[in-house]
Amino acid sequence: MTNQKELWDAEYLSKGLPTSYRNEPSRGALVLVEFLKRKNIPISGKLLDLGCGAGRNGVYFARLGFEVYGMDNSENALQQFRERIEASGMHDRIKLFGKSISERFPFPDRYFDIEFDGIAFCHLTENKDREIFKKELLRVLKHSGYFLSYVLAKDYGNISKLQDENGIYTNSVNKTMGKLYSEGELIEFFSPEFECISSENIKKEEVIHGEKFLGSLIVAIFQKK
């Protein structure tokens, strides 16, 4: 199997996916901030942006007042994130870590107030990697801290027809792999260690590699028990 990190590096050069070229924060990031505001939870403290990519969400979170820690193993993504930090002047609010999200996270226990996964967890196709991710999420999150996961759903446009019986697919253009989720499957995976506070299936029109289709994503907010 080709190395996924190399495929993501190539993706950030060709910029075929919206996550590789968009400047606006993702819907998942907006849902997280709306949730925190509604609950009167401070928009401050340490936020871990898992699979942060080129930084569209990280810069948004930093501008709002978070101290952002971005983790991604694509060097090209992080280079583009550095350029965004430079352009936005958010140097003292964002730190970047070139690390895999399926290995031990380089942070102490109970370090973060909030954890954000913007379509990164769903690219872990091996169960052992997902289990390490969950274990590390729990370890570095403060007691009662919040975690938002934003993943591609089973009926996601053109990708749905590529999945096998476990939801695993290979993107036909850039060859990156991922797993499609049902709402129930996502919630079950993070239970019982996390309590699901809310979940929603978001449908939106997408244009990827010139093809227009209906995207379907799940956004779920969890609280560490």
Ligand X SMILES: C[S@@+](CC[C@H](N)C(=O)[O-])C[C@H]1O[C@@H](n2cnc3c(N)ncnc32)[C@H](O)[C@@H]1O
With CB under 6 A as the contact rule, the residue among 16, 47, 48, 53 that binds ligand X is: 53
Binding to ligand X (CB under 6 A) within 8-37 occurs at 8, 19, 26
Nearer to ligand X, 74 or 170 (CB): 74
Contact 26, 51 (CB under 8 A): no
CA distance 115 to 154: 24
Q: According to CB under 6 A, which one of 52, 59, 137, 187 is a site residue for ligand X?
A: 52
Across the strands, what pairs with 92? none
- Distance, CA of 224 to CA of 122 (rounded, Å): 20
Would you give the binding string for ligand X spanning residues 161-200, x where CB under 6 A is met?
----------------------------------------
User: What order do you get walking across the sheet with 67-71 strand by strand?
Assistant: 94-97, 67-71, 46-50, 112-118, 141-152, 211-224, 194-208
Of residues 32, 59, 94, 101, which one binds ligand X by CB under 6 A?
101
Considering only residues 36, 47, 51, 141, which one is a binding residue for ligand X as defined by CB under 6 A? Answer: 51
Nearer to ligand X, 35 or 195 (CB): 35
Of 29 and 36, the one with the shorter C-beta distance to ligand X is 29
User: Across the strands, what pairs with 104?
Assistant: none
Q: Is 80 in the site for ligand X (CB under 6 A)?
A: no
130 lines the binding site for ligand X (CB under 6 A): no
How far is 60 from 66, CA to CA, in rounded Å?
9
